[in-house]
């Protein structure tokens, strides 16, 4: 595979093995210059390993990493045009804010004047002007965060790698920093690669997302396609809330599959073209379910078991049939008003094409 000139980063069949453990399994993808790209997955899925491979701390067991079309094999992290922001930021506590930011410049032998000019520029960028003389431990969590970004940007990397940098912040600050990060990325215009297990972060910030599970990149796409058209059962269950019903395809016709699930036969869109007899999982998002469905919808009978009112939305738990399998739905104000009281029998339903039938693979087996 030759990388097109436009790719900032190319992973070419990258596998990483630690002893017997396959941390990354045959990852191949291309990331464009200026893209905000996220790796999303649960802990231990190999996303951090992949990030460390791109930054040069780990050499791939197989395959190649290319930056700007250049093979990075044998090139150490100190020689790569990447900068990494660590999960715990790893600011140097014995140095001032300015010295932290100037560290990479000092290494490159810039004069004091050039360093100071660049540090001032970066302090403006991160909205901490004139704070260069402070000690790192005098800063708040969000400020430290921004200093870490400035320190990494100071060396003018082509790619900025971020390893869950927001995980140490509280919820409010985290949401604020999402916007901030995105704004900084637009201003500096370089490629950001962002590692996270938080789908909210990935969906709101990224141009594209790669969803990883057990070392495998399961799907690459923009947020909308990942959420609305997941290709695998793992992606469907990991990104966003989903009701999952494991079963077997009984019939398939015209893009609609009938799946035999523990709560009966359910119809859904056969996105992957599964044939009769395949093991499958049928996914229904909580927001496509509604009470008192019209006749063309797929109906499910059962009892309302819980209701949680949250203002504009109401979360309803529903026990299907006599199996007791719990189904959650999220309803708007009008629909919520139509839900019978807790314990009452009810029928809910969903438009058939809004449910998704995907191959089961290893889903729900462990």
Partner 1 sequence: MHSSVGHSLILALPLVVIAAFFILSMLERRKLGSLAPVSFWRRNGIAISSYLVIAVGLWTVIMIVLPQLYMVDLSLRPKLTPAQTGGPRDVYTLENYHYFLYGSTTSSANWNTTHIKAFFLTIGASVLVTILNFVLCYPLAFYMAQVTTRARVRIFMLLLITPYWVNEVLRAFAFRVLLGSQGVINTLLLKTGVIDQPIDFLGLDVGLYAGLAYAYLLMMMFSLYNAIESLDRNQIEAARDLGAPWWYIHWSVVMPHAKPGIASGATLVFMLNAGALAAPLVLGGPRTLWFTPIVYDRFYQAFNWQQGAAYAFILLLACIVFVLLVLRLFRVGLGEIAR
Residue 108 touching partner 1 (CB under 8 A): yes
- Binding range to partner 1, per CB under 8 A, among 55-63, 201-209, 272-280, 294-302: 55-63
Q: 121 or 322, CB closer to partner 1?
A: 121
- Binding range to partner 1, per CB under 8 A, among 103-111, 205-213, 265-273, 314-322: 103-111
Residue 104 touching partner 1 (CB under 8 A): yes
Which of 10, 30, 53, 55 binds partner 1 (CB under 8 A)? It is 55
The torsion region of residue 343 among left (phi > 0), alpha (psi -120 to 50) and beta comes to: left
Residue 18 touching partner 1 (CB under 8 A): no
Task: Tokens 């893209």: give the residue.
Answer: 35
* CA–CA dist 43, 196 (Å, integer): 9
Residue 78 touching partner 1 (CB under 8 A): yes
Task: Tokens 């302090």: give the residue.
Answer: 123
Nearest to residue 193, comparing CAs of 61, 103, 24, 67?
A: 67
* CA–CA dist 305, 326 (Å, integer): 9
Binding mask 145-184 for partner 1 (x = CB under 8 A): ------xx--x-----------------------------
Binding mask 185-214 for partner 1 (x = CB under 8 A): ------------------------------
Residue 90 touching partner 1 (CB under 8 A): yes
CA distances from residue 341 to 304, 308, 324 in whole angstroms, order as listed = 7, 12, 17
Task: Tell me if 340 sits within 8 A of 304, measured CB to CB.
Answer: yes
- Count residues contacting partner 1 (CB under 8 A)? 24
Q: Which residues contact 25 (CB under 8 A, 6 or more apart)?
A: 15, 46, 214, 215, 216
Q: How far is the CB of 20 from partner 1 (least distance, A)?
A: 17
Which of 33, 34, 77, 293 binds partner 1 (CB under 8 A)? It is 77
Q: 56 or 63, CB closer to partner 1?
A: 56
Task: State how beta strands 191-196 and 208-213 pair.
Answer: unpaired
* CA–CA dist 256, 352 (Å, integer): 8
Residue 74 touching partner 1 (CB under 8 A): no
Task: Tell me if 34 sits within 8 A of 207, measured CB to CB.
Answer: no
Residue 76 touching partner 1 (CB under 8 A): yes
Residue 106 structure tokens: 């000092």
Q: How far is the CB of 77 from partner 1 (least distance, A)?
A: 5
Q: 58 or 358, CB closer to partner 1?
A: 58
- Binding range to partner 1, per CB under 8 A, among 41-49, 70-78, 166-174, 346-354: 70-78
Q: 18 or 92, CB closer to partner 1?
A: 92
Q: How far is the CB of 28 from partner 1 (least distance, A)?
A: 25
Residue 73 touching partner 1 (CB under 8 A): no
Residue 10 touching partner 1 (CB under 8 A): no
* CA–CA dist 3, 17 (Å, integer): 24
Spell out the alpha helix ranges (H) of the chain: 47-55, 97-107, 112-125, 141-154, 171-188, 199-205, 223-228, 233-238, 333-337
Residue 83 touching partner 1 (CB under 8 A): yes
* CA–CA dist 200, 240 (Å, integer): 9
Residues that bind partner 1 (CB under 8 A): 55-57, 76-79, 82-84, 86-88, 90-92, 94, 103-104, 107-108, 151-152, 155
């Amino acid at each position: 595979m030759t990388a097109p000139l436009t790719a900032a980063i190319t992973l070419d069949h990258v596998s990483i093995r630690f002893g017997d453990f396959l941390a990354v399994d045959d990852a191949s993808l291309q990331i464009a210059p200026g893209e905000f790209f996220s790796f999303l997955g649960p802990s231990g899925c190999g996303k951090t390993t992949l990030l460390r491979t791109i930054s040069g701390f780990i050499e791939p067991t197989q395959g190649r990493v290319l930056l700007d079309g250049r093979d990075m094999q044998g090139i150490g992290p100190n020689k790569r045009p990447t900068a990494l922001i660590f999960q715990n930021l790893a600011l140097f506590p014995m140095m001032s804010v300015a010295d932290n930011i100037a560290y990479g410049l000092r290494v490159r032998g810039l004069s004091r004047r050039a360093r100071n000019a660049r540090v001032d520029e970066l302090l403006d960028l991160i909205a901490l002007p004139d704070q260069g003389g402070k000690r790192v431990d005098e800063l708040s969590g969000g400020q430290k965060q921004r200093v870490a970004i400035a320190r990494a940007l100071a060396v003018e990397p082509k790619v900025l790698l971020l390893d869950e940098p927001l995980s140490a912040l509280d919820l409010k600050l985290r949401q604020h920093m999402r916007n901030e990060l995105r704004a900084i990325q637009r201003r500096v215009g370089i490629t950001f690669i962002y590692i996270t297990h938080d789908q909210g972060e990935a969906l709101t910030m990224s141009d594209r997302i790669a969803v990883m599970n057990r070392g495998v990149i399961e799907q690459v796409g923009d947020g909308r396609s990942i959420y609305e058209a997941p290709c695998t059962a793992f992606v469907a269950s990991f990104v966003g809330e989903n009701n999952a019903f494991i079963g077997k395809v009984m019939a398939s016709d015209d893009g609609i599959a009938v799946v035999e699930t523990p709560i009966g036969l359910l119809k859904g869109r056969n996105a992957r073209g599964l044939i009769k007899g395949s093991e499958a999982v049928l996914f229904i998002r909580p927001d496509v379910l509604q009470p008192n469905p019209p006749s063309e919808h797929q109906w499910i009978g059962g009892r309302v078991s819980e209701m949680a009112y949250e203002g504009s939305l109401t979360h309803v738990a529903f026990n299907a049939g006599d199996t007791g399998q719990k189904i959650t739905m999220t309803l708007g104000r009008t629909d919520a008003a139509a839900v019978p009281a807790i314990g009452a029998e009810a029928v809910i339903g969903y438009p058939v094409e809004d449910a998704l039938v995907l191959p089961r693979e290893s889903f729900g087996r462990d």
